[in-house]
């Protein structure tokens, strides 16, 4: 069966795309629930640290994880039925509204599912059936979670960034994208480079300019792509971040003292560097020599 699928690329793309749609639906769950889970955990830790009676804090007793409670409408608490949980199709069938209260469902949910699907199909075309495909699929899906969580909460959870870091080091034990030595140096250099920039900024201005999650994310990207790609990642993310920041201030009246998450730009730059970094560097060298 696998041989037949591999001999018919359109069928392979279809199967990978369908699987990626299901994964995209789960990514929506992670993006929404993981920050709430972290907040509940911090809340419980505060209650325990202050030695408070947990019975007077029912919030600390409520069960909430990636699987429980069942999904429901945030406005009317109507349980999401099975037919309304089909990736992409349910949104179209319901015309983007809750089946009960007709509250508008955010367009972001089907967009994340579609992004997961399109990225998976492209990566399948780019790498073929290989270890590189399996690795970059996980890499891309984790980055999608980090991008949207950082946009929403200005938070890069350790559970995702550190998992990405360790996976990068493990993947490159087999020299999938770079040597294990380059991956280790990339992880260390990625963390220290942003750590140094952030501390210099704080020393000069007296203000925090960057979160520790950004350090860990760049360390993870260095573990995947190798230390040689770090300058390209920083350059690309800085350019995109600057353009977006200036645009927000000009067109959205975004105040200068309101922080803008840097993680999404790092993630996008890291994805580009992993897939096309060597080609981009070669083009740059050829055009400058």
Min mean pLDDT across 8-17, 53-62, 126-135, 151-160 is at 53-62
| Whether the predicted pLDDT of 170 surpasses 90 | yes
- Paired tokens of 40: 């509940």
Predicted pLDDT at 12 = 92
Question: pLDDT digit string (tens) for 84-105?
Answer: 788 888 888 888 888 778 888 8
37 three-state secondary structure: helix
For residues 167 and 183, give the distance between their C-alpha atoms in angstroms, rounded to a whole number: 11
Which pLDDT score is estimated for 219? 97
Helices marked H in 206-289: 212-225, 230-251, 263-288
Percent of the chain residues topping a pLDDT of 70: 92
Task: Cis check for the bond before 69: say yes or no (omega within 30 of 0).
Answer: yes
Tokens for 53? 């009676």
Residue 130 pLDDT = 92
Q: Name the residue ranges covered by the structural domains of the chain.
A: 1-129, 130-289
Residue appearing with tokens 């190798």? 226
Contacts of residue 229, Cβ cutoff 8 Å, sequence gap at least 6: 186, 221, 222, 273, 274, 277
* pLDDT for 279 beyond 80: yes
Q: What's the pTM? A: 0.90
Nearest to 34 by CA among 190, 155, 115, 136: 155
The token duo for 273 is 């560097």
Cα 230 to chain center, whole Å?
18
C-beta separation of 54 from 45 below 8 A = no
Q: What is the mean pLDDT of residues 125-143?
A: 95
Chain segment 12-66, per-residue pLDDT in tens:
999 999 999 999 999 999 999 999 889 888 888 887 888 877 666 665 556 778 8
Predicted local distance difference test score (pLDDT) of residue 223: 97
């Amino acid at each position: 069966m696998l041989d037949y699928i591999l001999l018919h690329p359109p069928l392979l793309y279809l199967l990978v795309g369908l699987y990626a749609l299901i994964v995209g639906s789960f990514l929506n769950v992670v993006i929404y629930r993981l920050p709430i889970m972290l907040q509940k955990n911090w809340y419980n830790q505060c209650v325990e640290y202050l030695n408070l009676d947990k019975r007077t804090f029912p919030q600390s007793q409520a069960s909430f994880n990636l699987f429980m409670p069942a999904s429901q409408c945030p406005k009317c608490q109507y349980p999401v039925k099975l037919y309304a949980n089909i990736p992409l199709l349910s949104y179209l069938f319901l015309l983007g509204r809750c089946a009960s209260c007709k509250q508008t469902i955010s367009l972001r949910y089907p967009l994340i599912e579609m992004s997961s699907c399109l990225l998976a199909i492209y990566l399948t075309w780019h790498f073929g059936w290989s270890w590189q495909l399996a690795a970059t699929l996980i890499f891309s899906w984790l980055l999608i979670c980090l991008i949207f969580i950082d946009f929403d909460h200005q938070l890069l959870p350790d559970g995702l960034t550190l998992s990405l870091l360790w996976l990068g080091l493990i993947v490159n034990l087999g020299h999938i994208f770079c040597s294990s030595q380059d991956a280790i140096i990339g992880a260390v250099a990625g963390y220290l480079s942003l750590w140094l920039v952030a501390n210099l900024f704080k020393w000069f201005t007296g203000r925090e300019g960057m979160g520790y999650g950004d350090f860990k994310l760049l360390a993870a990207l260095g573990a995947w792509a190798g230390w040689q790609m770090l300058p390209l990642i920083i350059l690309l993310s800085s350019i995109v971040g600057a353009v977006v920041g200036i645009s927000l201030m000009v067109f959205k009246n975004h105040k200068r003292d309101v922080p803008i998450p840097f993680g999404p730009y790092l993630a996008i730059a890291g994805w580009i560097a992993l897939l096309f970094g060597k080609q981009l560097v070669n083009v740059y060298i050829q055009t400058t020599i």
